[in-house]
Amino acid sequence: MTMTDGATVSFSQMKDGTKEDYVLLERLEEPYRAGTADRLLAELAAQADDTLSGYKITRLEHGLQSATRARRDGADIDWVVAALLHDIGDRLAPQNHDRMAAEILRPFVREEVSWVVEHHGIFQSYYFGHHYGWDRNARDRFADNPCFQSCADFCERWDQVSFDPDYESDPLESFADDVRTVFARKAYDPAVTRSGEVIGLPATI
């Protein structure tokens, strides 16, 4: 496959690659990685049309409502971007969208936040699982986890409530700078991921 500047590697099997090949790939990958935020924003925009049926709003609007509620609650940038992207995996991974979204976010946000996104699916089932004959309290298996309350609050305050066709969300473009800021961070920077630190959601007024 031809690269954007016409340069290509010498190999057809990775084991045959030279140092020069991999230096080239690293150089070409850098601007691609830099475009991650814009690809995520494009994926969100696509959810305005290609979405789950039956709801009163689109999947895009659900993300916007969730993020807008987080923003209006005074949440920090990690929470706001996570609320916006927590269902980003719905189109490609409907059976495990929560884990897909968490892996997208994990290198760039606080560990608490990625844990909440990873587990929000099972926590969210508290509101509807019994209608399918499921254990609505399945989230209790995580009761001893320090992030348990953060996830319960995330679902209660920003997720389960955000299916309202009358709610006035902020537009997608208003979140673009936040998304670009988060995904411009150095991946897995300990100063960003802050392992073991739990601050919770901002207090309600």
Mean pLDDT by 10 residues, the chain (205 residues): 69 95 92 95 93 89 98 98 96 94 98 98 97 97 98 98 98 98 98 97 86
Domain residue ranges in the chain: 33-193
* Residue 5: per-residue pLDDT: 63
Looking up tokens 């991921």, which residue turns up? 193
pTM (two decimals) = 0.93
Instruction: Report the sign of the C-alpha dihedral through residues 136, 140, 146, 149, in that order.
Output: positive
How far is it, in rounded angstroms, from Cα 66 to Cα 20?
46
Find the radius of gyration of the CA atoms of the chain: 19
Scored b (16 or more CB within 10 A) or e, 37-60 reads beebbebbeebeeebeeeeebebb
Task: Determine contact, residues 9/17, Cβ cutoff 8 Å.
Answer: yes
How far is it, in rounded angstroms, from Cα 38 to Cα 116?
23
In the chain, DSSP assigns E strands to none
Closest CA to 21 of 32, 36, 29: 29
Distance (Å) of CA 35 to CA 28, 120, 183: 12, 27, 9
**Number of helices (H) and strands (E), helices first, in the chain?**
9, 0
How far is it, in rounded angstroms, from Cα 47 to Cα 55?
13
* Residue 3: per-residue pLDDT: 43
Q: Please check whether the domain covering 33-193 is classified as CATH 3.20.20.70.
A: no
* Residue 205: per-residue pLDDT: 64
How far is it, in rounded angstroms, from Cα 167 to Cα 67?
12
DSSP state of 153: H
